[in-house]
């Protein structure tokens, strides 16, 4: 994912990544570090139920993610169930003391 974004970074105003929720936390952690110096919005989203289910949050999450991308916020955000979370700035253990 990072390579695809890097390869097309100058071609788009921002990026939305649709991701399965089982491993999203791992991808989100990696993206939050990689995106620290990025000036374009990169939004990751998922859903509790598949997009083709009768009752699903997938469509709303994709729409919300697209809106977040258009807000031109910098760096990484996650968007699920009408909530948007900005990735925290990573800190070393020494900075925490």
Range 23-44 average pLDDT = 81
| Highest mean pLDDT out of 5-9, 44-48, 57-61, 81-85 | 5-9
pTM over the 0.75 mark: no
R_g (Cα) of the chain, nearest Å: 14
Q: Exposure of 39 by Cβ count < 10 A (0-12 exposed, 13-18 middle, 19+ buried)?
A: exposed
Please write the tens of the pLDDT for every residue from 53-81: 988 888 887 887 777 666 655 665 666 65
């Amino acid at each position: 994912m990072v390579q695809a974004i890097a390869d097309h970074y100058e071609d788009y105003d921002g990026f939305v990544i649709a991701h399965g929720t089982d491993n999203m936390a791992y991808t989100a952690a990696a993206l939050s570090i990689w995106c620290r110096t990025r000036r374009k919005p990169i939004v990751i989203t998922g859903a509790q139920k598949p997009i083709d289910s009768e009752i699903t949050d997938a469509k709303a999450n994709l729409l919300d993610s697209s809106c977040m991308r258009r807000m031109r916020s910098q760096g990484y955000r996650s968007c699920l169930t009408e909530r948007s979370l900005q990735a925290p700035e990573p800190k070393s253990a020494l900075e925490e003391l």
